[in-house]
Structures are given as structure tokens and as C-alpha cells.
């Protein structure tokens, strides 16, 4: 059989063009519409960066106020959607709940078939605005707490923390959560974004594309990794840390939160989240022990990797994001939904960018199965 060259997992294959984000893995840089992620995280909020990705330019003061008002207006759910959450199995994972409810959002959207530019943006805003309400309401119901309704006086980041905890977050909590959301908004042609674009290329509606992307994000090798990181750090005892890491490396097993398909140096988002975790614990006066252990775990892992010549494996965005979310009081199984609540901005932006000059994705698979044309013989009973 002839040898056929192919890129497993489409690694390195350029499938389309984009003006949304650029990942420079060699130099550890991430850009949204030409701006560095450091610049945006330092100077903008969730609403501004959402507008940037959806319109490929930053908003002026009036545009930002109008965009913010639209997001706030769309936070509430209809009684029918709330009833659906009430009936959702309480043992379900929040990501599964998000998938189910985003599908239901489509059924309740009277503009589902409207392809005008104005309707497209309204649908995107509805999805972005309602996803935090869905997951926080589900969490309250499964824990037996009173449901906290959206507060239209709060920012997108502050409102989600408010709905999760029932209290207005402090300035530092709002600031850090807002920055964390910005960091996760878009990241080139990652698995979930590619999934959204593939589904979009069939001319499926925006809700269907987002539901598909949610499914891709739920996997432990993608968005689900941040849950696994915290579970790992909580499981390993301080006096067993080095032995645990040594055994993982010896057995050539993956250490959750380390390594990236693109970055060969520190993930720039991990560097920012690392600083945010320290700042948050210093201001809140708690959680410092967890962040300190995560730092020691990371440093010893990097030391061991260097000793065996693996000098291109560093902590990725999932490693420190779990520590930040835990300090903010978010349940572990909410880490990936929080990722989704941010990344959905990128998904909807890619959805509309894909449609501008659309061509359905149709790659090939190389067949290496049984002999072709073999004689049919029914197996004996």
C-alpha cells in the first residue's frame, strides 16, 4: 500500500483566513484584531472586547453604552426556559445543561430564520447575555438555593458573580473575573472554534453552531482541562508532589495544565492569570496556600521537564485559570462553563466571519481498512 502523507488532527493545516485573532506560538503572543491580549486585559472590559471581536473595531462611547444596554436587556430568560431548567436533572454537568438550553433558546427565538445583519447581531447578543443566567440558575436549583435574578446595574462579569453568590462582588473580584473572561474569548482555530465554523459552513443557524462548539469544548483535552488541573492539585499532597510529578514523567503521562499544541513558550494568558491569582488572594486574604502550591507544582514540573530536554512545555491557560475561579468561589464543574461564557463571543464572531465567503468544509480521510471488494460471507451463528 502506498504511503500517503497527511496531517493528523489537521495540525498546521491552514483551512481559512480570519481577522479575529492571531496566535504566535513561537513568541508566546496572542492578538485580538491586532491588539495584544495584555493591552486589552489591562485597558478594556468584557463588553468592549466583545464589541471588538463582533465588529473588528473598538466601540466609541455611545456604541459601547448601546451594546452594554442590549446585553443587559437580554439577560433574563422566558418562563418557558426557566421551567426547562427546573426540569433538568440536578446531577447533570453544567456543560450539558448549557448545550440543552442553548438549543432551546433557538426554539424560542422568533428571528431564528432572519438572516439580516441586524437580526444576526441581536441573536448573538441573546446567546452571550443568557448563557450566564442559564448556568447560575441551574447551580442554584441543584444546590437548593434561591435563584438570583440578573442585576441590570452590574457589568457582565459582576452580574455573573452576583447570580452565583447572591452578593455584589467587590471591585477586585469584578476586575479579575472580567480580565479572565477577556483572556478566554478567542484563540485562533482551536477545536471548538473549528467545530463552530464547520457547522456554520453547512449554513446551520448560530444556535446550532454554538451548541456544537459547546460539545467540543466539554472534552478534557480542550476546555475541560481546567477542571482536571484543580482536581489534580487538590489530590496531590505537598509531601508527595515531587514523587507524583516524577512518576508522571517517568510513565510519559500527561500532566494536566502543561503543554499546548501551539505555544512552545509560556502561554501569555497563563502569565496574566498567574499574576491575577496572586493579586486576588492578597486582596481577599485567603486562598494563598492553594496558589502557592500551584506555583511550586509548576516550578518543579518545569525543572523536571528541563532535565529531560523538554524545554518547550510550559503551563497553559488552564493551569492558573482554575486557581482564579476557585478563589472567586466558583464550583469546580463550573470552570468549563465559565470558559464557554467567554469563548462564545469568539464563536459567534467566527460564525459570521465564516458566512462572509463560505465554503462547506469537506476534508478527506485516508482509508486503511479491510481489503476492498472482499467476498461477502455471513459469520456462523
Rg (CA), the chain: 22
Determine which helix (DSSP H) or strand (DSSP E) holds 35, and give its type and residue range: strand 35-36
User: Using 50, 70 and 90 to split pLDDT, how confident is the model at 261?
Assistant: confident
Contacts of 194 (CB under 8 A, 6+ apart): 10, 15, 216
**Set of cell numbers at residue 86:** 427546573
Contact call for residues 335 and 227 (beta carbons, < 8 A)? yes
Q: Could you report the per-residue pLDDT of 328-379, keeping only the tens digit for each?
A: 888 888 888 999 999 999 999 999 999 999 999 999 988 889 999 999 988 8
- pLDDT bin (cut points 50, 70, 90) of residue 251 is very high
Confirm if 261 and 222 have CB atoms less than 8 A apart.
no
Query: What gap in Å lies between CA 324 and CA 224, rounded to an integer?
Result: 15
On whether the CB atoms of residues 67 and 306 are closer than 8 A, the answer is no
Cα(74)–Cα(34) distance, integer angstroms: 29
Q: What is the rounded distance in angstroms from the CA atom of residue 243 to the CA atom of residue 251?
A: 12
Q: How far is CA 344 from CA 70, 75, 127, in A?
A: 16, 15, 8
161-212 pLDDT, tens digit per residue, is 999 999 999 999 999 999 999 999 999 999 999 999 999 999 999 999 999 9
Residue that is written with C-alpha cell 488572594 in the block: 281
Look up the pTM and report it: 0.92
Question: Do 169 and 161 form a contact (C-beta atoms < 8 A)?
Answer: yes
- The phi, psi pair for 287, rounded to 5°, reads 85, 0
Q: Which residues are catalytic?
A: 222, 260, 318
CA dihedral (282, 179, 140, 227) positive or negative: negative
Are 325 and 334 in contact by the 8 Å Cβ rule? The answer is: yes
State the pairing for strand pair 21-24/29-32.
Answer: antiparallel
The pLDDT score that the predictor gives to residue 280 is: 87
Distance (Å, rounded) from C-alpha 100 to C-alpha 105? 9
- Extract the C-alpha cell encoding 129: 447575555
Neighbours of 293 (CB within 10 A): 17
DSSP letter string, 2-17 = ------GGGTT-----
- How many angstroms from the chain centroid is the CA of residue 137? 20
pLDDT tens for 202-223 read: 999 999 999 999 999 998 888 7
Give the pLDDT band (50/70/90) at residue 142: very high
Amino acid at each position: 500500500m502506498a504511503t500517503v502523507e497527511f496531517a493528523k488532527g489537521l495540525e498546521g493545516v491552514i483551512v481559512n483566513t480570519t481577522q479575529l485573532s492571531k496566535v504566535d506560538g513561537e513568541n508566546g503572543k496572542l492578538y485580538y484584531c491586532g491588539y495584544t491580549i495584555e493591552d486589552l486585559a489591562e485597558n478594556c472590559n468584557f463588553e468592549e472586547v466583545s464589541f471588538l471581536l463582533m465588529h473588528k473595531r473598538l466601540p466609541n462611547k455611545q456604541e459601547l453604552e448601546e451594546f452594554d444596554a442590549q446585553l443587559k436587556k437580554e439577560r433574563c430568560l422566558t418562563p418557558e426556559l426557566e421551567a426547562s431548567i427546573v426540569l433538568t436533572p440536578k446531577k447533570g454537568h453544567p456543560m450539558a445543561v448549557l448545550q440543552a438550553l442553548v438549543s432551546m433558546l433557538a426554539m424560542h427565538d422568533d428571528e431564528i430564520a432572519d438572516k439580516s445583519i441586524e437580526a444576526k447581531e441581536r441573536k448573538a447578543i441573546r446567546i452571550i447575555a443568557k448563557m450566564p443566567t442559564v448556568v447560575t440558575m441551574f447551580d442554584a436549583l441543584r444546590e437548593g438555593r434561591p435563584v438570583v435574578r440578573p442585576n441590570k446595574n452590574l457589568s457582565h462579569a459582576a452580574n455573573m458573580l452576583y447570580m452565583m453568590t447572591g452578593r455584589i462582588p467587590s471591585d477586585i473580584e469584578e476586575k479579575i473575573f472580567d480580565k479572565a473572561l477577556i483572556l478566554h474569548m478567542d484563540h485562533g482555530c482551536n477545536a471548538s472554534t473549528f467545530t463552530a465554523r464547520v457547522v456554520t459552513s453547512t449554513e446551520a443557524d448560530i444556535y446550532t453552531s454554538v451548541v456544537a462548539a459547546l460539545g467540543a469544548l466539554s472534552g478534557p483535552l480542550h476546555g475541560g482541562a481546567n477542571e482536571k488541573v484543580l482536581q489534580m492539585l487538590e489530590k496531590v499532597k505537598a509531601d508527595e508532589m515531587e514523587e507524583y510529578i516524577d512518576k508522571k514523567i517517568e510513565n510519559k503521562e500527561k500532566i494536566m495544565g502543561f503543554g499546548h499544541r501551539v505555544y512552545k513558550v509560556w502561554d501569555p494568558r497563563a502569565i496574566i492569570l498567574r499574576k491575577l491569582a496572586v493579586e486576588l488572594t492578597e486582596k481577599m486574604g485567603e486562598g494563598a496556600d492553594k496558589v502557592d502550591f500551584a506555583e511550586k507544582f509548576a516550578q518543579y514540573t518545569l525543572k523536571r521537564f528541563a532535565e529531560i530536554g523538554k524545554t518547550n512545555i510550559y503551563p497553559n491557560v488552564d493551569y492558573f485559570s482554575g486557581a482564579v475561579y476557585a478563589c472567586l468561589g466558583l464550583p469546580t464543574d463550573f470552570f468549563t462553563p465559565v470558559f464557554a461564557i467567554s469563548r462564545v463571543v469568539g464563536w459567534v464572531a467566527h460564525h459570521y466571519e465564516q458566512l462572509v465567503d463560505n465554503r462547506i468544509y469537506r476534508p478527506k480521510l485516508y482509508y486503511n481498512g479491510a481489503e476492498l471488494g472482499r467476498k461477502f460471507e455471513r459469520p456462523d451463528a
